[in-house]
Amino acid sequence: MIKITLPDNSVREYESGVTGLQIAQSISSRLAKDVLAVSVNGEVWDLNRPIDQDSAIKLYTWDDREGKETFWHSSAHLMAEAIEFFYPGTKFGIGPTVDTGFYYDVDLPEGKQLTEKDLAQIEKKMIELARQKHQIVRSSITKAEALEMFTDKNDELKQELISELEDGTITLYNQGNFTDLCRGPHLPNTSYIKAVKLTSIAGAYWRGDEKNKMLTRVYGVTFPKQKLLDEYLVLLEEAKKRDHRKIGKEMELFTFSQKVGQGLPLWLPKGTQLRLQLEDFLKKVQRKFGYQQVMTPHIGDVELYKTSGHFQKYGADSFQTIKTPAEGEEYMLKPMNCPHHCEIFASKPHSYKDLPIRFAEFGTVYRYEQSGELHGLTRVRGFTQDDAHLFCRPDQLKDEFKKVIDIVFIIFNSLGLENYTAQISLRDPNNPDKYIGSAENWDKAEAAIIEACAEKGLETVTELGEAAFYGPKLDFMVKDALGRSWQLGTIQVDYNLPERFDLEYIGADDKRHRPIMIHRAPFGSMERFVAVLIEHTAGKFPLWLTPDQVVVLPISEKYNDYAQKVSDFLNNSDIRSLIDDRNEKIGRKIRDNELKRIPYLLIVGEKEAETGTISVRKQGEGDKGSMSMEEFAQFLNDEVKEQLSAFYN
């Protein structure tokens, strides 16, 4: 018999070899029907994989990220089987899950091509195969046997992947007539997959390297119920309308250039204005909370990141080290700002009276993302974090953590981001090698976060294994207007970097003490935050944030001078205004500027010029009547103040 510990810490005994599915059946028939995967001591397994030792488990359904990932992983294999049916001899690269489904990179036989028109027949075949309820079977073979198998199949893509694996057993998964190299986990059988939609086709270089062959990447999504797919397709259409890349182009916020490089956004004047508004707002909030602005370079000596541990953690995903003409010098584009801030703290001695010290920076960092993973502003290679690092004494930790929560609340309330979940992300107790630092310090850091959230009355969920490699954190998972969840703000407690950088302060006892470090980024990254905000608001930003708050529309060129007078007055009143003096009818001007999502349209003609007034229209609400310039300026300033009431209070 073995002991199985459930998430509520209750313990049940089962015979050795029990599976996750059998455990679910012993709990309830409904759970057994819904469960998709199981984690065993922190590792996600197939439901049919035998458990032969005492273990802590968690059962995952469609409502869990791990459940969806298992479902979509199996769906990628099902799609590959359907593609192989129509295109025998296809070679298969990788088929991972993504945020909304899965994809598979395939190398079609010579002379064959997949188009959007072919997707319908592949979908139909997938449903046919799924209904056959083929068991998805895991097996293990040696590396040599795996190489022989895929050599016989003439699939050099799999051969390349296998050749890079360590010697030992390699896992395969088989369903029906399809076998694939895979770690898993997978569904018990194909019948779980009830609804299929293949969404798009794209080209992708093998392993993201432009020197390699271009493969065909097929994207898809599947569901356990047709109703869920129908709802998803409605959501997809609305998401297309809100796509930040589409709206960003329409509003002239940002662009990309192949000459500059993939994943490196160029901010246009209006987008820059938007970013500056966000930055200025956060700087004002930070000043209220005692932060000091700092600036650090975009590169650093590689030894800096080895000291911090970022080189070991992110080295493979970073831009390769930069060698200078001088022998022995190696630099990196910085993947994180925190090591630089540690060195700023270390630049002079500190007393316990100096703490807490709060350094803030809008610091640009760089990570290498494969070209196929890049997506507008949400996945880029260079991004700016609204980063801050607080250095405090142990007796200050909880209060400082709670103050950072207050900052997050101010930002979310001022931007209408009211639907969020606070997630306490802790280490995986069964996988300690993922983390740096002592267990004692991890215990202290995790306890501080849990206690601070409780004292703030914050409702939280706890996720094991989601901590950063150097410390636990509080993540804010924000739902947008379409119900999609995005991880935005984050607060992390870190005992480890102060140790690695030998940071210290002199205590009241005249002895040397180690400060505790808090990492904090309410926006996360400016690029990703702006993308989420665009899609959440459909480009209709709060008045205080929008790049152009007002456009003045003269009825004819005779009133251009008066329009200029109105615009100048508003600009001098800290209201962002522009003029549309095109030789177009007023109806066309109104339509065009509403499409640009400008909140207020001011129409001026003979009557307005004579009386010194303006005729006001509000985006989405129509005519708001006539006002003087002074009345309108006060009206707008009151609206802005109301939107920013969380800050002013």
Active site residues: 338, 367, 385, 387, 389, 473, 519
Q: 571, 620 in Cβ contact below 8 A?
A: no
Which helix H or strand E contains 405, and what residues bound it? Answer: helix 397-414
**Peptide bond just before 554 cis, omega within 30 deg:** no
Residue with tokens 């195969």: 129
Q: 488, 532 in Cβ contact below 8 A?
A: yes
What values do phi and psi take at 187, rounded to 5? -70, 160
**Under DSSP, is residue 318 helix (H, G, I), strand (E, B) or coil?**
coil
Residue 359 tokens, joined? 């350094």
Residue with tokens 């609804």: 195
Edge to edge, the sheet with strand 137-142 lists: 137-142, 169-175, 178-181
The string of DSSP letters for 139-200 reads: EEEEHHHHHHHHHHTT-HHHHHHHHTSPSSEEEEEEETTEEEE------SBGGG--EEEEEE
Question: Which is nearest to 223 in space by CA: 381, 6, 78?
Answer: 78
Q: 279, 385 in Cβ contact below 8 A?
A: no
Number of C-beta neighbours around residue 177 at 10 A: 10
Known binding residues are 338, 389, 519
**Under DSSP, is residue 107 helix (H, G, I), strand (E, B) or coil?**
strand
CA–CA separation, 339 and 305 (whole Å): 7
Number of C-beta neighbours around residue 245 at 10 A: 17
